[in-house]
Chains A and B, each alone.
Chain A
Amino acid sequence: IQMTQSPSSLSASIGDRVTITCRASQGILNHLAWYQQKPGKVPQLLIYAASTLQSGVPSRFSGSGFGTDFSLIISSLQPEDVATYYCQKYNTAPPTFGPGTKVEIK
């Protein structure tokens, strides 16, 4: 199963709503996670089961989707959200990561 993400990068203003999409080449039910990796840092789990927010993650992050099409939404972009975001499917091996979406501030 291949994972794709779009866009590969984006630039948005503080307070903007940002949407990142992830597509699986085959259905994966809701077995999808989103990770945030800030520059020079370790990845952090944001969302799992497509839409469940990991403990401690700000509520401006949300996820949706089922089957093959998924979205990560940042409702109001903040400076600390500058990072690369990866989706990962984990229903079966290999638990493939998407190529990542780099988010910058305009």
Chain B
Amino acid sequence: QAQLVQSGTEVKRPGASVKVSCKASGYSFTDFHITWVRQAPGQGLEWMGWISTYSGGTNYAQKVQGRVSMTTDTSTTTAYMELRSLTSDDTAVYYCARVSGLTQTTYGPVDFWGQGTLVTVSS
């Protein structure tokens, strides 16, 4: 059974950076892409970006382009999402999720999600 386990809660000051990890297990890591989604308190789901675990290629949402970096370490089957220049608007639960491969499409659907990482940005 596929599993994604994320790093723990973070509290950051405005202007700081955060790096969230997502450890994958139970499947062949490089056979499935990883996507990152965030959810602000009481709000809906917002796609942040995508990374190919095979090639390292990325595609980021326009809203966070320039502030976000997504990487993977295939030796440890771990994906990372770093977000820089944090503001209070970045306060959210951040999810990594596996693109399922159920269809011949690159960006979805996603079938396994991490448990979420709460990032709070506050002075």
Partners in one complex: yes
In the complex, the answer to whether A93 meets B95 with C-beta atoms within 8 Å is no
Q: Which residues of A contact B37 (CB under 8 A)?
A: 43, 97
- Complex formed: what's the CA distance from A100 to B113 in Å? 18
Nearest Cβ on chain B to A3's Cβ, whole angstroms: 10
Nearest Cβ on chain B to A48's Cβ, whole angstroms: 4
B45: contacting residue among A31, A43, A48, A90, CB under 8 A = A43
Nearest Cβ on chain A to B57's Cβ, whole angstroms: 11
In the complex, the answer to whether B107 meets A92 with C-beta atoms within 8 Å is yes
> Interface size of A by Cβ–Cβ distance < 8 Å?
26
Given contacts A42-B115, A48-B103, contact A90 B95 (CB under 8 A): no
The majority secondary structure among interface residues of chain B is: loop
Q: Which residues of A contact B107 (CB under 8 A)?
A: 90-95
Total number of A-B contacts with CB less than 8 angstroms? 69
User: In chain B, residues 71-123, which have Cβ atoms closer than 8 Å to a Cβ of chain A?
Assistant: 95, 100, 102-103, 105-111, 113-116
Q: Which residues of A contact B108 (CB under 8 A)?
A: 31, 33, 48, 88, 90, 95
In the complex, the answer to whether A42 meets B44 with C-beta atoms within 8 Å is no
Query: Is A68 an interface residue, CB under 8 A from the partner?
Result: no
- A-B pairs, 9 with minimum CB distance: A90-B108, A33-B109, A95-B107, A48-B109, A97-B45, A42-B113, A100-B44, A90-B107, A95-B108
A and B contact pairs by CB, cutoff 8 A, 14 listed: A42-B95, A42-B113, A42-B115, A43-B113, A45-B109, A45-B111, A49-B102, A54-B111, A90-B103, A91-B107, A93-B50, A94-B61, A97-B44, A97-B45
